Amino acid sequence: MILTVDIGNTRIKAAVFEGDILLEQFVFTKKELQKNIEIILKKYQKTTDLVVASVGDVEKESFLEFQKEILLHFISHADLFPFENTYETPLTLGIDRMVLAAGATLQFPGQNRLVIDVGTCVTYDFIDQNNRYLGGAISAGLRLRYEALHNFTSKLPLLHLETPKHFIGNSTTESIHSGVVNGLVYEIDGFIDEYKILYPNFIIILTGGDTDFLAKRLKNTIFANSNFLLESLNQTFQYKIKND
């Protein structure tokens, strides 16, 4: 069994896999990391490897106490990935984006793929049918958009995610909800439409914490999987083991 851990900007997600089968997943805060890892390993005592991908500020030392009972693996730029990285600044490419690109490459061979991760930030990552990672885009996610409107103005309130009642907001609150939610939906559909012009045949993978909320609002046909990063982390590790 393999325990995968994704350390994001806001929270930590983890999952236990047996082969390619996801047995159970977990979500917790950074303060709860060690306690929850202990609970998971106690429940799944046949776990042999702990695989970590991090873009957050959790240090490797937080995992060292587990190395007596399990093998630790921290995914890095030095690892073997199933695609050619043509990014102009490859060492600045986030590990989470590399893992998503690896998962898309392995799960959807011989296709053009666009992975859209809707979390704290929204990332777009494109891998062509020849397994070349070309790049993408980064923008603010839903929560960041709400916070920015409040933090960088003097009077706009801090709101939390809600479905806009109408396209035309008839109050400040409704105008914010319309701007934040519809703005991101139009952004995602707009990016997809641009890619369609250059690559008419490709698969779109939507993942991340806001997947379920946004998937039903997009006009384009997508493959929605909120667990895609955890699955990709497992597949990336399996690929590394087989090809080392």
Catalytic machinery residues: 96
CA distance 81 to 100: 11
Longest dimension (CA), the chain: 60
Instruction: Using DSSP bridges, classify how beta strands 84-85 and 132-140 pair: parallel, antiparallel or unpaired.
Output: parallel
CB proximity list for 63: less than 8 A, separation 6 or greater: 37, 50, 52, 72
CA distance 112 to 14: 28
The token duo for 61 is 């030392």
Cβ atoms of residues 230 and 6 within 8 Å: yes
Helices (H), 54-182: 95-107, 142-151, 172-177
Strand partners, 116: 124, 206
